[in-house]
Amino acid sequence: MDIYKGDRLAILGPSGSGKTTLLNLLGGITNPDKNEGILNVFGEEIQNYKLKMLTDYRKTRIGFIFQFFNLFPTLNALENVIIGCELLRNKENKNLNTNTIAETYLNKVGLGERLFHYPSQLSGGEQQRVAIARALAKIPFIGKDFLLLLDEPTGNLDTDTGKKIITLVKELNEREGITCVLVTHDKILADLFSTRTVHLKNGEINN
Amino acid sequence: MNFLFKKAIRDFRKLGWRKYLILSVIALCIGGSLAINYTISSSMPMMNSYFNSANHADYIYQLDDNSWINSTQLNNLNKVQEIKDFTGRLFWPTSIKLEGQNDWKYVLLIGLNATYDYPEVYRYFMKSGINFNQDSNNLSAIVDDTFFSKNKLSLDSTINITGLNNASLRLTGTFNAPEFIMAVSNPEFILPIEGSMAIIYLSQETLKNYIIDHYKNLNFTTPYNFDAQIQYFKKVEYNNLAVTFREDISINEGNIALTNYIENNLSLTLKEVNNFYEIYPYSYMKADLEESSEFMWIIQIFIALTGIFIIYVVFNRYTFSQSQQTGFIEAMGYSKKDIHKYYLLVMILIYIISIPLGIIIGYSIGYLIVNILLTEMANLELFEFPFLFLPQVLLIGLITGGFMIFFSIYLPVRKLCKKDIAKLVYQKTEIKYKRRFKFRIPKLNFRKISTKLTLKNSLRNKKRLTFSLLSITFSLLIISSTQSMLDSMFYNIDLTFNNPNITGNPPVENWNLNVQFQNSVNISEPNSLEEQIKNITGIEESTPYVKGIANSIGKVNQSLLMIGIDLNSSTVHNFRWKDKIREQMFPLANNEIIISSVQAIELKKNIGNNITIINQTKDIIILTIVGIHRDLTTIAYISDQLGKSIFHSSNNVIDGIFIILDPSVDKIEIKNQIYNLGNIEVIFDSEEMAKALNDFISNFFVIFYVLIYYTLVVALIIILYNSIMNIYDKNYEYGILRSLGYSKKKIGKMIITENMIQGIIPIILTLIFTYPLAVEMAAIYEANFPLDVFIGIPTILYTVIPPIILYIIGSFIAFRVVYKKNLYEQVQTNYVS
């Protein structure tokens, strides 16, 4: 399976088809259990990466959006975004202000008025937007050579909100040119979002 | 309901290692509390049974030096109808220098009628070998087991009583005598010094003959004439009586009757009369047990509070971890009453496992502690005291344990049941954000948000955090306050005898040697013993004194050991004052007295009060208290002139001499020279005394070490649990950090920082409260052992080092937990169960 830069790829399939596993492999949060096949991401073959290299890979190449938003309950929206990008500060990019960047991306996702709200004060959709902003806030540090992976991002949201989130990501993709991979079982959302669709069944591509 | 019952058991089993932790914390806290309760409740009954087994005397009568009695007079005591049993003894205090040793030891020789197997009153118990009267050799003797073992003597060996003209005795056995437990080398000192005083039982006939030989020898070797004494000793047998009275009369009545008989019918003079409850061994043991009980009450409360707090924290977490499932159960249709029943089942499960375990621990440790206490006091082997089953301890364990568990589960469950079912089912985390009580970290600019996150996480969940920290603080306070008591005791011994490491304080006992004469010395005679001692090269300073016992009468009657001495131009003694009337205390006027703080408490007297004393010649003297000292001695000080008039009929007689040596001289050589002059009862060496006192503290207060290490174990479990669960609760948040690309090193640093922030709080609180708590605990011992509180390095080390190490270990374990789980699973669960 190939993923092209700037793609909006949707991976569809029934439960147990392996779509989440595939996403996890791409995101470096799980290792393959067999020594077969190649995972080549931006020229790096990550299938044999050890823990430290996978950590660096996740830091510099991946933005992950989970179903349950996964925000820190004790940090407000702004801080939840900053914690993702301050990891990338070094000597070369020390001029970049993480506060400003975080604010910018929160504005982009429409949460400019909610910077200092805590997750328990935000709706599900708003929390997911924070998660998206956190993932995208890496761009000024690492450029657009990174994968935004979305694992059932609308699973915990109502249909309308879900659509809004998907539309947001689509707009960000078109504006920023980032590569997105969406895992979902919802064909309508997949059609709304993607430029290409891959169907999985029993761990194999079944287009 | 069956389902709930099965679920309760299964959920508890699924806790894995945490259930062992929960059960062990409960068992240890309850066990510790009960152990102390058992110790407090059983120590006095056990002590009393020990004395009763020896048929202790109701009264002991020490006759005057010129008032011994013979066998006929002794047997005629049968005529005193108040008497039940009696035993005549011949007491002879002297000194001994054992082969291969440099120092002289105090020895009390007790002559008994060899025709009896054991004395009727104050029986002793053989520990090894055979009784002296079972051996055909009339030079046989038995020695107390402590002296025997501390000085590495052997059975069937011969010892020479150096102070009694090298009288030869063959040791046939060892014994333990309740009358002489807490045997001291110097009864003036508050603390006993094991092994430096010997008690030897032998045939009265043999001892008498040796005394006569001793005086015959003095006739030849000294310029004095002892013919009168020799003739006298040939006619008499005993100088000490141990008596029990009939049970149907009071011991005071018995005492009055017998005293009258001795003084009027037998025309003898009594030097000292002691009620059993006033004698040093019993009163010291009783006082010590009472003080230890008071001390232990404080520890018991602390352990109980530690248990309550930590159990609350554990169950608070447990109930939260079950809260979503609780929501599911309620959503299915089970009532809140069913939920209460479910947790009641869990509580019962924990109760039936942990409480019996705690009770067993309580009885076992309590029995061990009370045995350590009593066997140290009574110089016995461990576990010679029988186990006493005290049902009240069992009851306290069952009730207190139930209360602790119920209280700890009920409150969180009650809170849980008040919640809306939807909130239970859909809850994300425990964090509640309430605008009014928002916790901000104000005005702190963090360079990194990860630092802010760490700080916020470490102070999350205020109630649980408070209880956790309180339980850790209490357990550390038990450790630190107990250790500080030990530090203080060693420090006070240092203050008394001037350990070279203590600077800036002149020692209380500044003398090097305290020479006590066998018979009082007349200093007006040419070349008197005092003169001869002063002339020994190497003696820098010497201060003579008189010594004796007088009775203080009033609201409280008390025997007072008194020294008459002029310290005006002497440096042999530097008082630690509790209170004094004037800056320049010496010379004392002839109507003034300085007493010890221990005596002041016993007599209920203060500065400026009068004290009425009666000496052996029944003279009544009224003295004003001008000073109260806090030395380790229980000696009252009066002017040398007054002392001579109270204890002697002459102004030229002394009983002993304090000596300060030139630091460059050979002390042993000086001691030998002094002993060779004759008429020396014993020479006390301050350096030896300091060492022996330090050894005593280490051995006697082993109970403190038991408390310290037991509590360290409890603290270890609590700290480990806290530091692991702290991180475990936020497992998914650490999963988010991992998914964001935070490295192991960064996450490890965050974990350890979070735990250390929490860990430092109880350490600081403990360091702050140790001193005030130690002062309170020292006040408990004030009536027997006036302590200046000192927080030593061991206290600080015990308070700081073990918790830090435990937090590091806990962080390491938590770190492994964070990395053990598959990252995807870790981030998918938005709370930890």
Q: What is the pLDDT of residue B517?
A: 86
In 3D space, the residue among B458, B200, B447 whose CA is nearest the CA of residue A83 turns out to be B447
User: What mean pLDDT comes out for the span B740-769?
Assistant: 91
Cα(B221)–Cα(B223) distance, rounded to whole angstroms?
Answer: 7
Check B448 against A70: CB less than 8 A apart. no
Range with the lowest mean pLDDT among A187-191, B91-95, B291-295, B487-491?
B291-295
pTM for this prediction: 0.76
pLDDT digits (tens, 9 = 90+) for B251-276: 889 999 999 999 899 888 888 888 88
Q: What is the pLDDT of residue B415?
A: 81
Is the pLDDT reported for residue B831 higher than 70? no
Contact A129, A71 (CB under 8 A): no
Is the pLDDT reported for residue B785 higher than 60? yes
Residues of B in contact with A64 (CB under 8 A): 739
Q: What is the pLDDT of residue B30?
A: 86
Strand partners for B551? B559, B614
In 3D space, the residue among A131, A146, A144, A178 whose CA is nearest the CA of residue A41 turns out to be A146
A56 touches chain B (CB under 8 A): yes
ipTM for this prediction = 0.78
In 3D space, the residue among B664, B444, B647 whose CA is nearest the CA of residue B564 turns out to be B647
Cα of B56 vs its chain's centroid, Å = 24
| B228/B57: higher pLDDT | B57
Check A52 against B733: CB less than 8 A apart. no
Q: What is the pLDDT of residue B226?
A: 84
Cα(B209)–Cα(B320) distance, rounded to whole angstroms?
Answer: 85
Check B453 against A74: CB less than 8 A apart. yes
Residues of A in contact with B736 (CB under 8 A): 70-72
User: What mean pLDDT comes out for the span B312-317?
Assistant: 80
Q: What is the mean pLDDT of chain B?
A: 83
Contact B774, B796 (CB under 8 A): no
Tokens of B733: 């948040």
Burial of B424 (C-beta count, 10 Å sphere; 0-12/13-18/19+): buried
Contact B718, B310 (CB under 8 A): yes
Q: What is the pLDDT of residue B191?
A: 54
Q: Nearest C-alpha of chain A: how many angstroms from B804?
A: 26
A90 touches chain B (CB under 8 A): no
pLDDT digits (tens, 9 = 90+) for B366-385: 998 888 878 777 777 777 78
For A161, the 3-state DSSP assignment is helix
Confidence class of residue B833 from pLDDT cuts 50, 70 and 90? very low
Is the pLDDT reported for residue B438 higher than 50? no
In 3D space, the residue among B86, B165, B196 whose CA is nearest the CA of residue B676 turns out to be B165
Cα of B773 vs its chain's centroid, Å = 17
Q: What is the pLDDT of residue B137?
A: 79
Cα(A52)–Cα(A63) distance, rounded to whole angstroms?
Answer: 17
Cα(B528)–Cα(B524) distance, rounded to whole angstroms?
Answer: 7
Q: In this complex, which of A24, A70, A75 lies closest to B453 when CB atoms are compared?
A: A75
Is the pLDDT reported for residue B113 higher than 80? yes
How far CA B340 is from CA of A75, B411, B416, in Å, comes to 35, 11, 10
Q: What is the pLDDT of residue A100?
A: 92
Cα(B695)–Cα(B688) distance, rounded to whole angstroms?
Answer: 11
Confidence class of residue B441 from pLDDT cuts 50, 70 and 90? very low
Tokens of B681: 């009862």
Q: What is the pLDDT of residue B494?
A: 86
pLDDT digits (tens, 9 = 90+) for B278-293: 776 677 777 777 777 7
For B613, the 3-state DSSP assignment is strand
Cα(A45)–Cα(A24) distance, rounded to whole angstroms?
Answer: 15
Cα of B190 vs its chain's centroid, Å = 12
Q: What is the pLDDT of residue B54?
A: 87
Cα(B229)–Cα(B206) distance, rounded to whole angstroms?
Answer: 17
Confidence class of residue B436 from pLDDT cuts 50, 70 and 90? very low
Tokens of B357: 């375990």
Q: What is the pLDDT of residue B460?
A: 82
Check A72 against B453: CB less than 8 A apart. yes
Cα(B637)–Cα(B594) distance, rounded to whole angstroms?
Answer: 5
B652 touches chain A (CB under 8 A): no
In 3D space, the residue among B428, B420, B440, B325 whose CA is nearest the CA of residue A123 turns out to be B428
**Which residues 455-494 of B are in CB contact (within 8 Å) with A?**
456-457, 460
Cα(B145)–Cα(A74) distance, rounded to whole angstroms?
Answer: 68
Q: In B419-461, which residue ranges form alpha helices assigned H by DSSP?
A: 421-426, 449-458
Place of tokens 């005006």: B568
**Which residues 713-732 of B are in CB contact (within 8 Å) with A?**
732
Cα(A105)–Cα(A84) distance, rounded to whole angstroms?
Answer: 12
Residues of A in contact with B448 (CB under 8 A): 86
Is the pLDDT reported for residue B504 higher than 90? no
Q: What is the longest distance spanned by two Cα atoms in chain B?
A: 109
Check B733 against A72: CB less than 8 A apart. yes
**DSSP annotation of A45:** E
Neighbours of A100 (CB within 10 A): 10
pLDDT digits (tens, 9 = 90+) for B491-500: 888 888 875 5
Phi-psi region of B794 (alpha: psi -120 to 50; beta: other; left: phi over 0): alpha
**DSSP annotation of B386:** P
Cα(B480)–Cα(B484) distance, rounded to whole angstroms?
Answer: 6
Phi-psi region of B800 (alpha: psi -120 to 50; beta: other; left: phi over 0): alpha
Four-residue CA torsion sign, B142, B148, B151, B155: positive
Confidence class of residue B433 from pLDDT cuts 50, 70 and 90? very low
Residues of A in contact with B431 (CB under 8 A): 73-74, 118, 120
Tokens of A30: 């799980």
As a whole-number percent, the residues of chain B with pLDDT over 70 amount to 91
Residues 6+ apart with CB under 8 A from A191: A10, A197
User: What mean pLDDT comes out for the span B474-502?
Assistant: 83
User: What mean pLDDT comes out for the span B191-215?
Assistant: 82
Check B741 against A60: CB less than 8 A apart. yes
How far CA B495 is from CA of B123, B498, B788, in Å, comes to 39, 5, 9
How far CA B744 is from CA of A55, B728, B735, in Å, comes to 9, 16, 11
Check A55 against B738: CB less than 8 A apart. yes
Q: What is the pLDDT of residue B551?
A: 80
Backbone phi, then psi, for A179, in 5-degree steps? -85, 130
User: What mean pLDDT comes out for the span B608-634?
Assistant: 86
Four-residue CA torsion sign, A146, A149, A154, A159: positive
Check B431 against A52: CB less than 8 A apart. no
Q: In this complex, which of A70, A87, A120 lies closest to B433 when CB atoms are compared?
A: A120
Confidence class of residue B243 from pLDDT cuts 50, 70 and 90? very high
Nearest CA in chain A to B823: A29
Tokens of B687: 């350096």
Tokens of B445: 């600019």
Is the pLDDT reported for residue B177 higher than 70? yes
Tell me the average confidence (pLDDT) per consecutive run of 10 residues in chain A, 207 residues long: 88 86 84 77 82 83 84 88 86 86 92 92 91 90 87 86 88 88 89 89 80
User: What mean pLDDT comes out for the span B734-747?
Assistant: 90
How far CA B436 is from CA of A6, B5, B440, in Å, comes to 46, 41, 11
Confidence class of residue B3 from pLDDT cuts 50, 70 and 90? low
User: What mean pLDDT comes out for the span B219-226?
Assistant: 80
Is the pLDDT reported for residue B442 higher than 60? no
Confidence class of residue B172 from pLDDT cuts 50, 70 and 90? very high
Element holding B563 (H helix, E strand): strand B558-565
Cα(B778)–Cα(B770) distance, rounded to whole angstroms?
Answer: 12
Residues of B in contact with A118 (CB under 8 A): 431, 433
Is the pLDDT reported for residue B246 higher than 70? yes
pLDDT digits (tens, 9 = 90+) for B696-710: 777 767 778 888 888
Is the pLDDT reported for residue B445 higher than 70? no
Q: What is the mean pLDDT of chain A?
A: 87
Nearest CA in chain B to A72: B733
Tokens of B354: 């942990």
pLDDT digits (tens, 9 = 90+) for B27-86: 988 898 888 889 888 888 888 888 888 899 999 999 987 788 988 999 999 889 999 999
Is the pLDDT reported for residue B238 higher than 90? yes
In 3D space, the residue among A44, A71, A72 whose CA is nearest the CA of residue A60 turns out to be A44
Cα(B603)–Cα(B600) distance, rounded to whole angstroms?
Answer: 5
Q: What is the pLDDT of residue B242?
A: 94
